[in-house]
Amino acid sequence: MNQGVRAFTNTKFAEEFTKVKETGYTEFRRTVMNAAIETFGISIASAATHFNHAKLEYGKANPGALDGLGRPEDKKGGRKPGTKNKAVEVVLPTLYDVIKVKDGSVVTTGLTKEAAEALVAKAAAAKKAKLQIKEVAAAAASEEKAVEEVAA
């Protein structure tokens, strides 16, 4: 049943186009799309696609007829001037290692300050080996590298 949707929409577009000045572009678009939806049982997205195709075909057949229709260029969305290629600063969290005080062996790596403090407190409460927090020097270096990569 979907055969002929494009031809139907093209015809309906041409018929309704004479009324666009009276009804306005939004109502005109709604009328054409609703006719295709009701006739063929297609989705709104599909009807919009067929409408856009009909608009292109009508514009080719009648150059200049579509001038002034739709949203003005200054009201269309998109990226605002001057927002392209701005450096974004990425702040990575400082990571910590938890080590045993007695022999300096690493218990775990890559924890946030809060998680490392919680692990030390948990070990102290359970009367396990005494632990301490060691800041990872590589985290600071990787943070600087990440900022440089984003800025480049």
Same-domain status, 47 and 105: no
Domain count, the chain: 2
pLDDT tens-digit profile of 126-144?
888 888 888 775 445 555 5
Same-domain status, 41 and 10: yes
Same-domain status, 18 and 54: yes
Q: Residue 13 pLDDT > 80, yes or no?
A: yes
Distance between CA atoms of 19 and 29, rounded to whole angstroms? 11
Same-domain status, 19 and 69: yes
pLDDT of residue 110: 84
Mean pLDDT of the chain: 81
In Å, how far from its chain's centre is CA 33?
Answer: 27
Could you tell me if residue 86 is inside a domain? no
pLDDT of residue 83: 60
Where are the extended beta strands (E) located within 85-125?
A: 96-100, 106-111
Q: What is the band of 35 on the pLDDT scale with cuts at 50, 70, 90?
A: very high
Q: Which domain holds residue 15?
A: 5-73
Same-domain status, 69 and 100: no
Q: Please, are residues 48 and 34 in contact by the beta-carbon 8 Å criterion?
A: no
Residue 118 phi/psi, 5-degree rounding, is -65, -40
Q: Please, are residues 118 and 133 in contact by the beta-carbon 8 Å criterion?
A: no
Q: Residue 104 pLDDT > 80, yes or no?
A: yes
